[in-house]
């Protein structure tokens, strides 16, 4: 709301960038490794650093829909979870233009190795210098996921439809970077009542494991669980 008559609109470009995260199965029997989707430098900026996938806001799409379109470009038809992260708009962040970036966080289960899609998955630990201020954006995304682990079912975004307790626990351990007690973990998860036992089992070289699903197919805040008697 401005008091003065509308000034000439600033020549500002709005773009939507997406921090797309996944958890790739560990090599051998190692723990799962967190990965980001990065794309090659192109379009608006030059240089050799990769960056987050993004696009300019189209006239007819809202912000969420634009994020979905960005995801489509990198081969993700629909993410398990998508939420707005923050906006970045420092005057110098894109050389030559004034660009405001609305950043999103997206989570998907397993890296579909889709050859037609742009970009590649990079282990979080191996991410090099990124274009523009994308390192900040990525950091914000990672921080958000980590903090949400404790008070929501973010893990939903990273797991396949059916998964074992051990896999669920591995998600938490990989993202939190700590080891958890198996019995306590299972007890706590069970107490929340968010999982359904599918009855099915995963058969492997050893004793079969029960397969579970999230009872509600979306991310749930834990407060909401408690508040629903």
The residue ranges that bind a copy of itself (CB under 8 A) are 1-7, 9-14, 17, 39, 41-45, 51-63, 73, 84, 86-91, 97-98, 100, 102, 118, 131
173 binds DNA (CB under 7 A): no
Task: State the residue for tokens 């379009």.
Answer: 43
203 binds DNA (CB under 7 A): yes
Nearer to DNA, 88 or 172 (CB): 172
Query: What is the spatial distance between Cα 176 and Cα 108, in angstroms, rounded to a whole number?
Result: 18
Binder of DNA out of 111, 140, 186, 225 (CB under 7 A): 186
Contact 199, 180 (CB under 8 A): no
112 binds DNA (CB under 7 A): no
Nearer to a copy of itself, 59 or 229 (CB): 59
Q: Which of 2, 116, 142, 121 is nearest to 50 (CA)?
A: 121
- 3-class SS of residue 87: strand
Query: What is the spatial distance between Cα 168 and Cα 178, in angstroms, rounded to a whole number?
Result: 14
What's the gap between Cα 94 and its chain centre? 24
Among a copy of itself, DNA, none, partner that 207 touches (CB below 5 to 8 angstroms by kind): DNA
Report the interface residues with DNA, using CB under 7 A: 29, 164-166, 181-184, 186-188, 191, 201, 203-210
């Amino acid at each position: 709301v401005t008091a003065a008559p509308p000034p000439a609109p600033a020549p500002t470009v709005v773009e939507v960038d997406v921090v797309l995260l996944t958890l790739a199965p560990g090599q051998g029997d190692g723990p799962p490794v967190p990965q980001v989707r990065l794309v090659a430098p192109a379009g608006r900026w030059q240089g050799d650093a990769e960056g987050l996938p993004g696009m300019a806001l189209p006239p007819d799409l809202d912000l969420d829909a634009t994020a979905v379109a960005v995801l489509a470009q990198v081969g993700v038809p629909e993410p398990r979870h998508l939420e707005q992260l923050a906006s970045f708009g420092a005057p110098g962040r894109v050389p030559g233009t004034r660009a405001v970036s609305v950043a999103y966080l997206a989570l998907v289960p397993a890296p579909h190795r889709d050859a037609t899609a742009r970009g590649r998955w990079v282990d979080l630990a191996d991410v090099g210098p990124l274009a523009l201020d994308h390192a900040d954006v990525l950091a914000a995304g990672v921080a958000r996921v980590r903090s949400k682990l404790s008070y929501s079912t973010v893990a939903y975004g990273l797991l396949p439809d059916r998964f074992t307790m051990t896999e669920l626990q591995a998600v938490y351990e990989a993202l939190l970077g700590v080891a958890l007690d198996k019995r306590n973990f299972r007890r706590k998860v069970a107490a929340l009542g968010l999982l359904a036992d599918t009855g099915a089992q995963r058969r492997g070289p050893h004793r079969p494991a029960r397969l579970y699903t999230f009872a509600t197919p979306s991310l749930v805040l834990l407060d909401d669980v408690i508040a629903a008697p």
